Amino acid sequence: MAISQSSRKAKIAIIGAGVIGLRHAQSVVACEQANLLCLVDPVFVARQEAEAFNVPLFESVAAMLQECKPDGAVVSTPNSTHVAVAKELLSAGVHVLVEKPISVDSSSGQGLVNHAEACGRRLLVGHHRRFNAYVTATKRALDRGHTGMPVAVSGLWMLRKPAGYFEPPTDWRASAAGGGVILINMIHEVDTLQYLLGPIIRVHAEQTLSQRGHEAEEGAAIVLRFASGVVGTFVMCDSTASKHNFESSTGENPIIPRAGADCYRIFGTEGSLSVGDMTLSRHTSSAQKSWTSPLSDAVLPVEDIVPFDDQMLHFVDVIRGGARPRCSGADGLRALSVCEAIKRSMAEAMPVDIVA
């Protein structure tokens, strides 16, 4: 008897056996609906990682396809290679989850989206925060009107990356070609903010002082305008001592100590929400709402879920045709366009409009 597509476990390949690739591999192993087929990485040290997962290692996508074909693949290679690797897989009939950013420039990113459509394959972008329980709890609160109409947002992503973060084989992180805190980290923030508050249509950014002397930027202060009329500020830097960042606030990354500080504050006509400690502040009396009236605090509940695991389960569902991508190629392109505008604003010291 033939095994149905819905009951057979999806075969997943991991392309790029770095930190994020191996994290995705763990999620495949944890997923009851998927099997880890193989790792693909030209670096010899990846062999021990493949042995640890008890799967074969291939040096290239082409070498893998000569031996086996996955149902889906996670592309977690250096940023500048995302498009070429993803296109090779899509051309072979493989569904793709490409790590963020979708590309290092909008033109090639659009080419990837077009290629996926032409191949009839599904393309997802790995903005895993859309699966984070703190983000989903925040979106639920906004959708239910707990803050009233959103008016403004303030965000922080401030911490210090170690020197080893920029050393080979990941020294590309210090280069202007796909590295820098905007494409590596701010793109997460942009996608999260657009997921919560809608499209960003204008930015104005000022670059922070360089502490390392790398080619790539270390941070920026950014003014944001959303299509809805919401305005905001965001300050980020990866060379500061701080506990105000998404990872420290939510405990998402186990290597970064959890500190309990907030990372976003969303201000609305009926209340404000501090994301991280998940405190919702509203007037205690519905009759009198002014600066003389007290505010009451309530802590919103947050589910205990693992974002990467939930994302992998979603990827399998998309492969099977049971769901639409929660973060599509178009979503990934919108985040990339905003980041390109931020980098351009820093270079030109001028506000930049984002064309839809």
Q: Using an 8 Å Cβ cutoff, are 281 and 266 in contact? A: no
Q: What is this structure's pTM?
A: 0.91
What is the structure's pLDDT at 1? Answer: 33
pLDDT classification of 128: cutoffs 50, 70, 90: very high
C-alpha to C-alpha distance for 255 and 8, rounded to whole angstroms: 35
Q: At residue 5, does pLDDT exceed 90?
A: no
Domains of the chain, by residue range, sit at 10-129+309-326, 133-303+336-353
pLDDT classification of 293: cutoffs 50, 70, 90: confident
Q: Using an 8 Å Cβ cutoff, are 31 and 316 in contact? A: yes
C-alpha to C-alpha distance for 220 and 48, rounded to whole angstroms: 39
Quick check: bond before 325 cis, omega within 30?
A: no
What is the structure's pLDDT at 43? Answer: 86
Q: At residue 11, does pLDDT exceed 70?
A: yes
Half-sphere exposure of 143 (CA within 13 A, CB side): 8
Decide yes or no: CATH 3.30.360.10 for domain 133-303+336-353.
yes
Choose which CATH entry (3.30.565.10, 3.40.50.720, 3.40.630.30, 3.90.1150.10) describes domain 10-129+309-326. Answer: 3.40.50.720
The two beta strands, 352-353 and 295-299, are unpaired
